[in-house]
Structure 1
Amino acid sequence: MRFQEFQEFRQRQLSASPSLLDTSETNVYGALAPLRPQPPTDVRTVHRCDLARAWLRRFALPEEWSGHAMVCRGVRHGLGVVFHWLHAVQGRLWLPSDVYPVYFELARAAGLEPASYPTLPAPALPGSPADHRPEYLLLANPSKPLGRYLSDAECAALVSWLRESPHRRLLIDSVYDLGAPFAAGTQSLLDTGRAVLLHSVTKGWLWPRTFGVVLLGPAHAELADAFRTDPPTSAQLQLADRLLTEHGDVPRQVVAELAARAERLFERLPQDVLGAIPTASRICPGNYFFPVGIPARTLQREYGVLAMPVRVFGENDWSGSILTSLADAFGPAPTGAR
């Protein structure tokens, strides 16, 4: 069942059984709309180099990396540029099969035929041997819908994967990392010198497809040229400047609101279901995806919980399902409610 099919199924189930506990809402922008900063009304000139340095300062990264910090319109845009370059150099691409179907859409639009690996119930890195071609593996940290940061052991396995071939690189989608600096695991992968980091204001500031940064490695001069010739609009640069300079606390507010929603979800769940959520997912800051090793049909039939099957996110044979904390039932009480 793909995403749109599930949305139609979800509406039918909620209409037929209003008592179902809806744990299948995925629209974070709608759920957290009051936290989204307003766009600027004044007009000013904003330079990409200044934004790159501001982004590096926020995440405690060396400002001398500004020449490698490519300003873009978000992670989707950044991946599109990278994927077109990877196709031009006849590279191989590995994508997580059960994280974000748009990864595959972007890759195929660039002419690539990506291979895949599963992340649920835990990431399983590909074991195929390397060859002479550039080989890139995309991962998310924190990973969704896994709902947690990669463990030290998983990061060590990624470093070992890199060491098996000088042609291997990582693409790290850090859009769900709402803290600053980035997670220690992400930093350790950056320290290999063989990772490209992608980040944006999509989740932390609730502004999708607006502004992002792709932090390139030292060997990506061709990619740098591609980003420089395809910049964000002046309005997007102005908004990004306002978000970074005047609304720097918004990601913390988003984390706090998502933590409150998660607690309300946990209070409503049957104990058997709550106990099936891995601890790492329950305590991950800013998380709103919670995997459970219980089939969605069982959750609905035996517990009155409407959850998402894993296949909503992509190909995976795991029998578990995914809960979210974004439905109105887990939001703040209306003003004036007692």
Structure 2
Amino acid sequence: MRFDEFQEFRQRRLGASPSLLDAAETNVYRALAAMRPEPPTDLRTVHRCDLARAWLRRFELPEEWSGRAMVCRGVRHGLAVVFQRLRAARARLWLPGDVYPVYFELARAAGLAPASYPTLPAPALPGAPAEDRPEYLLLANPSKPLGRYLTDAECAAVISWLRESPRRRLLIDSVYDLGAPFAAGTRALLDTGRAILLHSVTKGWLWPRTFGVVLLGPAQTDLADVADVADLADLAEAFRADPPAPAQLRLADSLLTEHSDVPRQAVAELAARAERLFERLPDEVLGAIPTASRTCPGNYFFPVGIPAGTLRREYGVLAIPVGVFGESSWSGSILTSLADASSPASR
């Protein structure tokens, strides 16, 4: 079932059965609309280099990395640019098959034919042998709808995967990491020197497709070692040629400086909503949510090993079938804590 099809199904079910507990809202911007900062009204000039340094300071990364912190309009834009470079290099791309269908849409739009690996009920890295060409694996940390950060053991497995070939690299989508600095696992993967980190103000500040950073690792300062990928200057030029608009740069500057506390406030609100959801779930359903997902800061996705149809029929809970997120052989489903149904006013 595609996302749009499920949304139509959701509305029909809620209309027909008002007593259903709606644990299937996915729009965080709608749920937390009151927290979204207003855009600035001034017309000052904001330079991308200054924003890159401000972003690095925010996440406690060395400011001397600003030369490889590429300013973009968000993770989707950043991936679209990077995927074009991977296409030119004839790279192999591995995508999580049950996380975000847009990954595949962007990859195919760039002319790539991505392979996939599962993340539910736990990440299972590709077992295919290394090829004699560039090979990139995209992962999200924290991952949704898994609803948690990668464990130390999982990060160690990713590092082992990298070590199997000098041509292997990572793409890390950190958009759901609302804290600062980034999670220890993300920093450990960055320390390999073989990762590209993507981040944006989409989730923490509730402004999608506005501002993001693609942080190239030191290994990308000379891309000749990963087949015929263009060097850093060419990749940087691709970002320079398609920058955020001046108004988006002003907004990004305002978010990082005047509204720096919004991600922390969002984490607190999401934690409160999650607790309200947990209070209303039947004990059997609550017990099926992994502890790591229940306790992950800022998380609002909760996998349960119970099919969505069973949850609806036997427990009165409207959940999201895992297939909405992509292809999966797992039989469980996903709960979210965003819906108004989990607020005190709806009780």
Match of 1:113 in 2: 113
> SS at 2:29's partner residue?
helix
| Residues 225-234 or 291-300, more deviating | 225-234
Q: Which amino acid aligns with 2:61?
A: L
Offset from partner CA, 1:5-29 (integer Å, 9 cap, x none): 1111111111111100010011100
- What is the 5 A alignment of 1:1-338? 1-218=1-218, 219-220=220-221, 221=232, 222-331=234-343, 333=345
TM-score by length of structure 1 reads: 0.98
* Preserved CA contact (<8 Å) 1:258 1:287: yes
Offset of residue 330 of structure 1: 2.0
TM-score by length of structure 2 reads: 0.95
Report the Cα distance in structure 2 between the residues aligned to 1:332 and 1:174, rounded to whole angstroms: 31
Offset from partner CA, 1:238-263 (integer Å, 9 cap, x none): 00000001000000000000000000
Aligned residue-pair number: 335
Gaps of 5+ in 2: 222-231
Report the Cα distance in structure 1 between the residues aligned to 2:62 and 2:7, rounded to whole angstroms: 43
Report the Cα distance in structure 2 between the residues aligned to 1:79 and 1:226, rounded to whole angstroms: 12
Report the Cα distance in structure 2 between the residues aligned to 1:328 and 1:230, rounded to whole angstroms: 38
Gaps of 5+ in 1: none
Report the Cα distance in structure 2 between the residues aligned to 1:175 and 1:313, rounded to whole angstroms: 17
> SS at 1:50's partner residue?
helix
CA RMSD of aligned residues (A): 1.1
* Preserved CA contact (<8 Å) 2:22 2:342: no
Report the Cα distance in structure 1 between the residues aligned to 2:22 and 2:341, rounded to whole angstroms: 8
> SS at 1:171's partner residue?
strand
Offset of residue 331 of structure 1: 3.3
Report the Cα distance in structure 2 between the residues aligned to 1:216 and 1:204, rounded to whole angstroms: 22
Report the Cα distance in structure 2 between the residues aligned to 1:333 and 1:9, rounded to whole angstroms: 24
Q: Which amino acid aligns with 1:317?
A: S
> SS at 1:84's partner residue?
helix
Q: Which amino acid aligns with 1:314?
A: G
Q: Give the % identical residues.
A: 83
Offset from partner CA, 1:190-230 (integer Å, 9 cap, x none): 00000000000000000000000000023250322211221
Report the Cα distance in structure 2 between the residues aligned to 1:183 and 1:127, rounded to whole angstroms: 26
Q: Which amino acid aligns with 2:62?
A: P
